[in-house]
Structure 1
Amino acid sequence: MKNYSLRRLSDQPILQTSDVKPSIEGFSVLGAFNPAACRVGDEIILLLRVAEAPISEKGWLSIPIIEETDGIPQLVVKTFREPTDDYDPRVITLDGKVYLSSISHLRLARSRDGIHFEIDEKPFMFPTRMDESFGIEDARITFLEGKYWITYTSVSEHGPGVGLAVTTDFQTIDRVGMILAPPNKDVALFPDRINDKYMLLHRPMVSEIGKPSIWLAESVDGIHWGNHQFLFGASGADWEFQKIGAGPEPILTDDGWLVLYHGTSRNTEYSLALALLDRDNPARVIDRSTTPLLTPELPWERKGFFPNVVFSNGWVQAPANSKRSDAIWVYYGAADSGVGLAELIQE
């Protein structure tokens, strides 16, 4: 993958957490990041992951969660004494149970030029099911057969699984439900059937046995998935050691399917890289990066709600009036606190 480069279009984020208003009274926005992206008419659409949490009094933690009341899932807030020891700002164990410190939803943002966005004040998708009780995160959008297929991470006490929703206009939405059970995430649908099958990339999460890896699966209906195949794993190089996962939907090029993915280093630094898959048999890896194309270097990429992260799950063809209309614009989350924009160019 030596003939590709990924260059920032600005040394400043195009969106920041402070640009997003809380959707719930008494809550604050802790992060706005990791957007899915697509084109709809003459607009570029982003689906931001927005993490919100109740404003807590000093010495206390207020944890938002979906719980069932009379069989109906509803948002509730649980209050705990703040631990005196150091703790992870995102995941915390309280009274023997694991919680997330915030709850995430998907928020719509629209732009004509792909740089200046108007952000909706209310969620486009908010957790509504018990398998989303800890939030919905990190969407991907694939335009397929006249519809926008949205895959996202559904998080609950049982772990992260993969949800699916479908829309034609980003106004009404059909929420299909969970298509891959926990623990799994980072699902990207291919934008065309291959050999008459729907196909996707996914990331089973390993524990005692196995290493971080990206897998391939197929389906006859886009809902029920099987024939799971290992695609490739983390190389073991320092920059892709702890984790690896697919980014946005693959793009078909003259050389094959282009895949953007992230790798995580030994010290939990997220970087971006590329792989190339055979167009007729995407289980065959033609090429992949040996070094990352983008790493966290700027202050707003290195410091934030979760530091040292560049993470992409959204890209689009560059606007016709841009300097390089043959480029791909890559939207990336930075330190779980904002959104940057980079340009992918084939030299």
Structure 2
Amino acid sequence: MTFAFDQLVFTPADVDLSRSPLAGKLGVKTYILGAFNPGMTRLANGNLLLMVRVAEALRHPVKEQFIHAIRWTADGYVMDPWPLEMVDTKDPRKFMIPGGGWKVMALTSLSWLLPVELSADGREVVTVHYDRAIEPRADYQCYGVEDARISKVGDRYLMTTCSVSPERHSTTLYSSEDALDWTLEGIVLDHQNKDMLIFEGLVGGKYFAQTRPLGDLYFAYPPGSEWRSGPSINLATSPDALHWKPYDKPGIRPHAATTATARIGGGAPPVLTDAGWLTLWHGVEPSGVVGIYRTYWSILDRDDPSKVVRTSHDALLQPAPVLTEAIKDLMYLDNVVFTTGIADGGDHWVVASGEADLACRVTWIDKAAVE
């Protein structure tokens, strides 16, 4: 599929490290591992806002046979040392700490959120709002704030993020009247529930959201089922966007007919169209360490989002190595496109994604392609 516009609009080179929330607070050199997975919404002035996940990592994490991780505390940022013989560093994004009987990991970076204002068409950067950056501010965020998704419901902007800590891997909610000044509302989904996407509108007078609980155990579907066991996109409802109840019916499930979506999760917040709720989501084909991430689409029933009106096994967006060619020296993985935002562009959708866990990609997608 070809697109009228499909470019990287923000990369690690566009981040001014001197204006990072961590600047001057660690006493060592850091660098931007990635500026990616941007939540997106349209501002009152017509411009688009990206809430970019900035993963800031230690330039030299290993010192004297220890690898270090950055951690926020109420008294400032610190570096925790781990003996190299205790860890597995196969994945550049994290290191595993084996031996406890279950998976334990630490991150090679700490993520914070940077508001980047784009032109109305999403083609160019207008302003980078360093003064409104969001950094950890509670113990449940001590390892970072990740992967914002922004929805506008009525006159209020709602932003979900993944907050990372040893306490829990939770979903937190921020609210705003203008999408620039945000109030932290706290935890809304508990341990290891990722990719929470609030629908851009009420359904039957309730807030609806897609969720994706994680786990190491899934029960099998019966032999011959059209569904594949594994992570799926669930639904939840709320009277106020703060208190959520899981929906009794399942949402989008991995299909047995294809391994390209063997593992799935939410992408951009669902938006209402004439056909129903358009949802863009990611499917992961098992391959190598992290797999191949692609973007897919489905239309959900406007009155009962557990019903899929139509969908496609063909990917809407593929990883695009040609886009990262100019910054290939910064790449640490490939085969990943991770869609995180959508906005109406008239005859097309403006879609925001993270490319290769490295940079922000904006793509114009003809509305006819997802109807």
Q: Does residue 289 in structure 1 map to residue 285 in structure 2? A: no
**What does 1:88-237 align with in structure 2 at a 5 Å threshold?**
88-94=91-97, 98-113=105-120, 114-117=122-125, 118-121=127-130, 124-210=133-219, 211-228=230-247, 229-236=249-256, 237=258
Calculate the TM-score normalised by the size of structure 1. Answer: 0.88
Query: Which residue pairs with 2:26 in the alignment?
Result: none
Q: C-alpha offsets along residues 274-300 of structure 1, whole Å, 9 cap, x if unaligned? A: 011111111211111212111113245
Counterpart residue type for residue 57 of structure 2 = A
User: Residue 233 of structure 1 aligns to a residue in which SS?
Assistant: coil
Q: Give the whole-Å Cα distance in 2 for the aligned partners of 1:120 and 1:55.
A: 25
Q: Which runs of 5+ in 2 are unaligned?
A: 24-28, 220-229
Q: Give the whole-Å Cα distance in 2 for the aligned partners of 1:148 and 1:6.
A: 32
Q: Give the whole-Å Cα distance in 2 for the aligned partners of 1:265 and 1:204.
A: 19
Q: Is the 8 A contact 1:301 1:309 kept in 2?
A: no
| Deviation at residue 203 of structure 1 after TM alignment | 0.5
What percentage of residue pairs aligned between the two structures are identical? 29
Q: Does residue 253 in structure 1 map to residue 273 in structure 2? A: yes
Equivalent in 342, 350, 356 of residue 335 of structure 1 = 356
Q: Give the whole-Å Cα distance in 1 for the aligned partners of 2:365 and 2:215.
A: 31
Q: Give the whole-Å Cα distance in 2 for the aligned partners of 1:161 and 1:38.
A: 23
User: Residue 131 of structure 1 aligns to a residue in which SS?
Assistant: helix
Distance 1:270 1:162, change over 3 A: same
Q: Give the whole-Å Cα distance in 1 for the aligned partners of 2:182 and 2:191.
A: 23
The one of the two structures with greater contact order (alpha-carbon pairs below 8 A, sep at least 6) is: 1
Calculate the TM-score normalised by the size of structure 2. Answer: 0.83
Counterpart residue type for residue 80 of structure 2 = K
| Deviation at residue 150 of structure 1 after TM alignment | 0.4
Query: Which residue pairs with 1:44 in the alignment?
Result: 48
Q: Is the 8 A contact 2:52 2:115 kept in 1?
A: yes
Q: Give the whole-Å Cα distance in 1 for the aligned partners of 2:88 and 2:216.
A: 26
| Deviation at residue 127 of structure 1 after TM alignment | 1.1
Query: Which residue pairs with 1:322 in the alignment?
Result: none
Larger mean CA deviation between 84-93 and 97-106 belongs to 84-93
Query: Which residue pairs with 2:15 in the alignment?
Result: 20
Q: Give the whole-Å Cα distance in 1 for the aligned partners of 2:128 and 2:181.
A: 17
Q: Which runs of 5+ in 1 are unaligned?
A: 319-324
Q: Give the whole-Å Cα distance in 2 for the aligned partners of 1:339 and 1:75.
A: 27
| Deviation at residue 183 of structure 1 after TM alignment | 1.3
Q: Give the whole-Å Cα distance in 2 for the aligned partners of 1:115 and 1:305.
A: 26
Larger mean CA deviation between 277-286 and 54-63 belongs to 54-63
User: Residue 196 of structure 1 aligns to a residue in which SS?
Assistant: coil
Q: Give the whole-Å Cα distance in 2 for the aligned partners of 1:30 and 1:108.
A: 17
Root-mean-square deviation (Å): 2.3
Q: Is the 8 A contact 2:252 2:306 kept in 1?
A: no
User: Residue 18 of structure 1 aligns to a residue in which SS?
Assistant: helix
Query: Which residue pairs with 2:224 in the alignment?
Result: none
User: Residue 268 of structure 2 aligns to a residue in which SS?
Assistant: coil
Q: Give the whole-Å Cα distance in 2 for the aligned partners of 1:130 and 1:58.
A: 25
Q: Is the 8 A contact 2:88 2:97 kept in 1?
A: no
Counterpart residue type for residue 9 of structure 2 = I
Q: Give the whole-Å Cα distance in 1 for the aligned partners of 2:123 and 2:308.
A: 33
| Deviation at residue 81 of structure 1 after TM alignment | 5.1
| Deviation at residue 209 of structure 1 after TM alignment | 1.8
Query: Which residue pairs with 2:72 in the alignment?
Result: 66
Q: C-alpha offsets along residues 105-159 of structure 1, whole Å, 9 cap, x if unaligned? A: 1100012242211323356211111111211111111111211100111111244
User: Residue 55 of structure 2 aligns to a residue in which SS?
Assistant: strand
Distance 1:122 1:92, change over 3 A: farther
Q: Does residue 315 in structure 1 map to residue 315 in structure 2? A: no
User: Residue 260 of structure 2 aligns to a residue in which SS?
Assistant: helix
Q: Is the 8 A contact 1:191 1:249 kept in 2?
A: yes
Distance 1:264 1:110, change over 3 A: same
Q: Give the whole-Å Cα distance in 2 for the aligned partners of 1:278 and 1:254.
A: 10
Q: C-alpha offsets along residues 175-229 of structure 1, whole Å, 9 cap, x if unaligned? A: 1011000111111111211111111011111312241100111011211111423
Counterpart residue type for residue 248 of structure 1 = A
Q: Does residue 274 in structure 1 map to residue 297 in structure 2? A: yes
User: Residue 13 of structure 2 aligns to a residue in which SS?
Assistant: helix
Distance 1:209 1:333, change over 3 A: same
Q: Give the whole-Å Cα distance in 2 for the aligned partners of 1:280 and 1:221.
A: 18
Q: C-alpha offsets along residues 55-74 of structure 1, whole Å, 9 cap, x if unaligned? A: 3266553310124xxxx364
Q: Is the 8 A contact 1:231 1:284 kept in 2?
A: yes
Distance 1:73 1:95, change over 3 A: farther
| Deviation at residue 29 of structure 1 after TM alignment | 1.1
Q: Give the whole-Å Cα distance in 2 for the aligned partners of 1:177 and 1:306.
A: 32
Q: Give the whole-Å Cα distance in 2 for the aligned partners of 1:116 and 1:297.
A: 19
Query: Which residue pairs with 2:225 in the alignment?
Result: none
Q: Give the whole-Å Cα distance in 2 for the aligned partners of 1:295 and 1:227.
A: 31
Counterpart residue type for residue 157 of structure 1 = P
Q: Is the 8 A contact 2:261 2:284 kept in 1?
A: yes
Q: Is the 8 A contact 2:162 2:171 kept in 1?
A: yes
Larger mean CA deviation between 97-106 and 250-259 belongs to 97-106
